[in-house]
Amino acid sequence: MCGIVGYIGEKDAKNILYNGLTKLEYKGYDSSGIALIDDNKNLIIKKESGKLTQIKKYIEDTNIISNIGIGHTRWATHGKPTQINSHPHTNCRKTIALVHNGIIENYLELKEELIKKDHKIISETDSEIIVHLISEYYTGNLYGAVQKIIQYLKGTFAIAVISESEPDKIIIAKKGTSMLIGIGENENIFGSDIPPILEHTKNIIVMDDYEIGVIEKNKVTITDLEGNILNKVVENIDLTIEMAEKSGFKHFMLKEIHEQPRVVEDVLRGKIENGKIKFDNFNITKEELRKIEQINIIACGTSYHAGLVGKFIIEEILKLPVIVEIASEFRYKTPILSEKNLVIVISQSGETSDTLGALRVAKQSGAKVIGMVNVIGSTIAKEAYGTIYTNAGPEIGVASTKAFLSQLTMMYLFMLYLGDNLNLIDNKYKEYIIKNLEKIPEKISTILNKSDEILNIAKQLKNTKNIMYIARHINYPVALEGSLKLKETSYIHSEAYPAGELRHGPVALIEENVPALAIALKNSKTYDKMLSNIQEIKARDGKIIVLASEDDENIDSIANMSLKIEPIDEIFSPLLTVIPLQILAYYISDEKGLDVDNPRNLSKSVTVE
Ligand code: M6R
């Protein structure tokens, strides 16, 4: 949940660390800190609770010169977001500093032993234990101490450690959470994600679990736990800095919403060859695939909603049964899976703890597991049999937008891939689907160009306390997603229901101060039913905002407000209906003056249970 960055080279480390942390704030933002070693070999720590402004001020005011340092932005798990609990943590003598992402499950046990050995543990965190443990085993070789203590840590970690006794190196190690190293010229920079690295280099080493890195100015050495030097591949990452920055938009969320036409193009690019879908890392043979009798999709949050849309697509077109489950529920159930199940775990970050846990449970039960993930080299990508990368690029806004659209688009390709391999789809229909998918980017751009109309609606809704979202069939998951976007960015309570469920209870909530947003597309097979639901809400004085097709001439006489999209075959409609809902949530949040990109209490990736 936290962000880590580290630098060693010839430049001013404090500025590089601060810049890096600004690009990692989405990982956690309740406290932050840096550790530097200055020219006199003194370890200097600056850490504060709250946002990065304190660190910024410190960096502007100080005249410390340092070419080596580590930084951290925290999302509290153990202990409140106070100054003492923030990272970097130090040993008792304050000669070694450590930053940590992850959770040390046996920290209480370790703490007890360390206290017996006279270590003074001052924070409530699990992380501080690690630096005391390193100090306990330190005999003049920082690498050796880290190598020694890893065996005692249960849980997940990405750590970076510096010592004033060895001011020319940073030791890093990881298990179960990501760590990437950027290889530069006379400098090296590492981080828990790509954005802080990108402006320095595109040459990246992805660390694997139980590897230790020694990062020096002109050298990076990666070893296994036994100390054997590993020959790691340096990958050239095809991402631009702009892709990881705001590019002139007020917020990352808005930028990412506007990137969606490009995202759909990127998902489609290179995946369709002679009318067939091609996945590079699927790793499941046609013969194995033919044994599959059921698809299981497992995910959390927005990725779960993408899975629900996927169920509609696969069941409607291929008539293949799909079960979609929430990862945090699935992982503690008795899994009813075998080699006849194909499990797809969907995750933007590829690090979500529950989704990873579900993946492991599914693997143990003999099912083939594919990770549909956005972040390259993430833990889910590594542990799944095969990976489908969704190619959305780095998503910084905590509220997922472009990653969702990339997952949706990929669901159509995945359905086509299954259809091809299992002979469940005819060529003509396949062509029809591909043609329609290729038209989506332009149709999204048309919606984006009408953002001002959505802003007007946002202004009218911003003081609302509760909103009901209703839809049917393939757009019901979109209603769930629209409602989640609103909740997390605007703190407005909202519920999403399949419209047919209204009469079974939720309609009791409707009154003049509880508006309903209905997705009702004219060519949908449940359009008439949606109109009846809308009338029922009106009869109870509820205001109605309808997300309708442009060719619906009557809708404005029924709705209080409307959002319009181009008419589209219902099967593809989620790719468009979600866009106005994302924009609406964004504008309501911005109109309320909220921190759109970093909503309260949330973290970009939930790497704890
Ligand atoms: O990285 P993942 O896709 O596994 O994350 C799953 C959820 O935590 C995530 O979608 C979350 O619900 C977002 N805040 C939604 O905007």
Residue 393: per-residue pLDDT: 80
Q: How confident is the model at residue 28 (pLDDT cuts 50, 70, 90)?
A: low
CA of 302 to the centre of ligand 1 (A): 5
Q: How confident is the model at residue 607 (pLDDT cuts 50, 70, 90)?
A: confident
Which atom of ligand 1 lies at the shortest distance from residue 375's CA? Answer: 1
Per-residue tokens: 349 = 């970050």
Which atom of ligand 1 lies at the shortest distance from residue 602's CA? Answer: 14
Of 186, 208, 179, 9, give the one whose Cα is nearest residue 99. 179
Residue 413: per-residue pLDDT: 97
Asked whether the beta carbons of 24 and 195 are under 8 A apart, the reply is yes
CB distance 296 to ligand 1 below 6 Å: no
Residue 193: per-residue pLDDT: 86
Residue 54: per-residue pLDDT: 86
418, HSE (Cβ side, Cα atoms, 13 Å): 25
Average pLDDT for the chain: 93
Q: How confident is the model at residue 29 (pLDDT cuts 50, 70, 90)?
A: low
CA of 308 to the centre of ligand 1 (A): 14
Nearest CA to ligand 1 atom 4: 347
The pLDDT of 286-310, averaged and rounded, is 96
CB distance 86 to ligand 1 below 6 Å: no
Q: How confident is the model at residue 587 (pLDDT cuts 50, 70, 90)?
A: very high
- 463-to-301, 460, 466, 514, 592 alpha-carbon distances in Å: 25, 7, 9, 11, 8
More confident residue, 357 or 246: 357
Q: How confident is the model at residue 176 (pLDDT cuts 50, 70, 90)?
A: confident
The pLDDT of 94-121, averaged and rounded, is 94
Determine the angle formed by the axes of helices 427-448 and 574-591, rounding to 10 degrees: 20
CA of 557 to the centre of ligand 1 (A): 37
Ligand 1 pocket test, candidate residues 352, 408, 600, most atoms within 8 A of CB: 352
CB distance 347 to ligand 1 below 6 Å: yes
CA of 74 to the centre of ligand 1 (A): 18
CB distance 372 to ligand 1 below 6 Å: no
Q: Would you tell me how many other CB atoms lie within 10 Å of the CB of residue 253?
A: 30
Q: Is the pLDDT of residue 598 over 80?
A: yes
Report the C-alpha gap between 385 and 271 in whole angstroms: 19
Q: Is the pLDDT of residue 284 over 80?
A: yes
Q: Choosing from 27, 46, 485, 604, which is the catalytic residue?
A: 604
Does residue 300 have an active-site annotation?
Answer: no
Residues found in the chain: 609
Residue 1: per-residue pLDDT: 61
More confident residue, 324 or 273: 324
Q: Choosing from 2, 27, 430, 564, which is the catalytic residue?
A: 2
Work out the widest C-alpha separation in the chain, in whole angstroms.
Answer: 79
Q: Is the pLDDT of residue 27 over 70?
A: no
Per-residue tokens: 443 = 């149709």
CB distance 193 to ligand 1 below 6 Å: no
In three-state secondary structure terms, 238 is coil
Q: Is the pLDDT of residue 248 over 90?
A: no
The pLDDT of 60-75, averaged and rounded, is 93
DSSP 38-104: ETTS-EEEEEEESSTHHHHHHHHH----EEEEEEEEE--SSS-S-TTTSSPEE-TTS-EEEEEEEEE
Residue 61: per-residue pLDDT: 93
CA of 607 to the centre of ligand 1 (A): 11
Q: Which domains does the chain have, with CATH numbers?
A: 3-245 (3.60.20.10), 253-445 (3.40.50.10490), 450-591 (3.40.50.10490)
Ligand 1 pocket test, candidate residues 298, 304, 354, 400, most atoms within 8 A of CB: 400
CA of 382 to the centre of ligand 1 (A): 19
Nearest CA to ligand 1 atom 9: 301
Q: 511-563, pLDDT tens digit by residue?
A: 889 999 999 999 999 999 999 999 999 998 999 999 999 999 999 999 999 99
Which atom of ligand 1 lies at the shortest distance from residue 400's CA? Answer: 16
Residue 604: per-residue pLDDT: 79
Q: How confident is the model at residue 273 (pLDDT cuts 50, 70, 90)?
A: confident
Which residues does 14 contact at the CB level (< 8 Å), separation at least 6? 34, 36, 59, 62, 64, 66, 69
Q: How confident is the model at residue 438 (pLDDT cuts 50, 70, 90)?
A: very high
Ligand 1 pocket test, candidate residues 308, 309, 345, 348, most atoms within 8 A of CB: 348
DSSP 473: G
CA of 375 to the centre of ligand 1 (A): 13
Q: What is the chain's Cα-based Rg?
A: 25
Report the C-alpha gap between 208 and 197 in whole angstroms: 18
More confident residue, 155 or 300: 300
Lowest mean pLDDT among 76-90, 408-422, 524-538: 76-90
For residue 295, the cross-strand partners are 322, 342
Lowest mean pLDDT among 40-44, 334-338, 426-430, 487-491: 334-338
CA of 432 to the centre of ligand 1 (A): 31
Cis amide leading into 88 (omega within 30): yes
The pLDDT of 402-417, averaged and rounded, is 97
Q: 309-336, pLDDT tens digit by residue?
A: 999 999 999 999 999 999 999 999 888 9
Asked whether the beta carbons of 73 and 32 are under 8 A apart, the reply is yes
Residue 499: per-residue pLDDT: 96
Per-residue tokens: 533 = 């639901």
Report CA 150 to chain centroid distance, whole Å: 27
CB distance 562 to ligand 1 below 6 Å: no
CB distance 606 to ligand 1 below 6 Å: yes
